[in-house]
Amino acid sequence: MTENDKQTEEKIFEAATDVFIEKGMDGARMQDIADHAGINKSLLHYYYRTKDHLFNAVFEKIAGQMFKKFAPVLDENLSLEDKIRFFIREHIAFMQKNPRLPSFILNEIHRNPERIRKLIQSIDINKLWTTLEAQHKEELKRYNITKENLPQFMTTVAGMSVFPFAAKPIIASIMEKMGYNFDEYIEERKEYAADFIINAIKK
Amino acid sequence: MTENDKQTEEKIFEAATDVFIEKGMDGARMQDIADHAGINKSLLHYYYRTKDHLFNAVFEKIAGQMFKKFAPVLDENLSLEDKIRFFIREHIAFMQKNPRLPSFILNEIHRNPERIRKLIQSIDINKLWTTLEAQHKEELKRYNITKENLPQFMTTVAGMSVFPFAAKPIIASIMEKMGYNFDEYIEERKEYAADFIINAIKK
DNA sequence: AAATAGTTTAACCAGATGGTCAAAAGTAAA
DNA sequence: TTTACTTTTGACCATCTGGTTAAACTATTT
């Protein structure tokens, strides 16, 4: 009941994750997911009633993984500068292992903005700012990061690490033409992005 | 023959552009495009034989528009710093008018990387670098921009302007929660992004 | 071993989808 | 008006797609 069950349900979930990430909700086919999981299509509907249910389960988990990467940074006992370095390095490393995730999420939030809206409404941004300020009051002042321009700063940091993966086919083509490859570019980016950001705020 | 013809073909093309941008290739329906154009579905196939043909025509034009925004910057008689400001301002302004384009292109290049690969293979990157170096040799040296780290720099600049639109539903939700809205954020970004980049390279 | 409950399968279905086709409607020249 | 041509339409089709159902299979309990 539990042993084989979990196996099947997990097999389905993993297959669905792979297929949805590669093809997106619209491009994915239930038959394709069943084939990847090595089971009958009806079993999909047995465990997850509809394509929508299955997709939501997959998306929720993936989005969670992605956003949880942001949280622990705040707890680390590091200078703001080192936190930025730490975040960029870890975030890029995570995406190196899951290179299609950024494009998948970025696309699906446009198909259904309401889902991400609810997720964000549940975050206490004031508290987040208070925590940040308590830990780095002087640094924030010195770097001219205020509550008002925090979204600009945070989207800049996020963009520095996410954009290369979102635009991977373009960047990979460019690198290829210059005799390098995308992986080298990404390895370099860990340092380049962090340096760039820190230079910018140090002005 | 030519007058009404062009009108119909254009109506189809425009309707297809709207629908493809909003739903993507997989999510778009030929019937939906026909309805938007106010014509019979068969007419779509009369002018553009298949969905694929129609999509390619649309994508080619859109991608062209997007990338052409990069070119004229090189010709302007401005300092490198002003070119960066000019590019960011113009590029963001263009996307303000077409906010779904970035996400559309970013998504479709993953569905068919070969198309963008061919487009980029046709660009002469060496010549681009030579031109840039001829115009801004000293500035490039002073800002430590080399041929080797140019991709890092260019993707950073592109990311600064593109990422906010690619992640619009997330950013819009955050701004909403903070009592602002996305449009204000974007207006601010024109200056913030340019300042950020210039501060970073001035170090 | 029989009963019970959960799991897996094959066959099937209704609606959607991209695409075809022949005929009708429109247009311009002879 | 007739002829020749292009444009537009409605009816139609094969295939695909998400989803259902009833029966077969498996394992556990009594």
Q: Is the predicted pLDDT of residue A54 greater than 50, yes or no? A: yes
For the segment A16-32, the average pLDDT, to the nearest whole number, is 98
**Cα A131 to Cα A119, A134, A137, A147, A188, distances in angstroms:** 20, 5, 10, 12, 31
Confidence of residue A68 (pLDDT cuts 50, 70, 90): confident
Per-residue tokens: B20: 């493809």
Each residue's pLDDT tens digit, A73-99: 888 899 999 999 999 999 999 999 999
Give the start-to-end residue ranges of the domains of chain B: 3-58, 69-202
CB contacts of A199 in chain B (<8 Å) are 199-203
- Which residue of chain B comes nearest to A198, CA vs CA? B200
Interface of A with B in 118-157 (CB under 8 A): 120-121, 123, 125, 149, 151-152, 155-156
CB B176 within 7 Å, strand D: no
Chain B contact present for A74, CB below 8 A: no
Q: In this complex, how many residue pairs, one in chain A and one in chain B, have their CB atoms less than 8 Å apart? A: 155
Residue among A100, A170, A196 whose CB faces B200 most closely: A196
Q: What mean pLDDT is predicted for residues B150-160?
A: 97
Q: Domain B3-58: give its CATH superfamily.
A: Homeodomain-like (1.10.10.60)
Q: Give whole-number Cα distances, B3 to A110, B8, B33, B46, in Å.
A: 37, 9, 22, 17
- Give the pLDDT of residue A73: 82
User: Is 80 exceeded by the pLDDT of residue A2?
Assistant: no
Residue A4 has pLDDT above 80, yes or no: no
Percent helix, percent strand, percent coil in chain B, to nearest 5: 80, 0, 20
Q: Residues A121-131: pLDDT tens digits?
A: 998 999 999 99
Taking the CA of residue A5 and the nearest CA in chain B, the distance in Å comes to 33
**What would the mean pLDDT of A167-193 be, rounded to a whole number?**
97
| Sequence-distant (≥ 6) Cβ neighbours of residue B119 within 8 angstroms | B63, B67
Find, in chain A, the residue whose alpha carbon is nearest to that of B156.
A160
Which helix (H) or strand (E) segment is A1 a member of? none
Residues 6+ apart with CB under 8 A from A120: B170, B173, B174, B177
Residue B15 pLDDT exceeds 80? yes
Predicted pLDDT at A14: 98
**Please, how many CA atoms are within 13 Å of residue A48, restricted to the half-sphere of its CB?**
21
How does residue B2 score in pLDDT terms, banded at 50, 70 and 90? very low
Site of tokens 């950013």: B171
Distance B54 CA to C22 C1' (A): 24
Measured in whole angstroms, the distance separating CA B199 from the mean position of its chain's CA atoms is: 25
Determine the pLDDT at residue A202. Answer: 93
DSSP letter for each residue of A10-25: HHHHHHHHHHHHHHHH
Cβ contact A24–B24 (<8 Å): yes
- CA-to-CA dists, residue B111 to A84, A95, A174, angstroms: 32, 19, 18
CA distances from A68 to A10, A61, A74, A90, A123 (A): 22, 10, 11, 12, 12
Tell me: pLDDT of B4 over 60: no
Percentage of residues in chain B with pLDDT exceeding 70? 97
Say whether pLDDT at A23 is over 80. Answer: yes
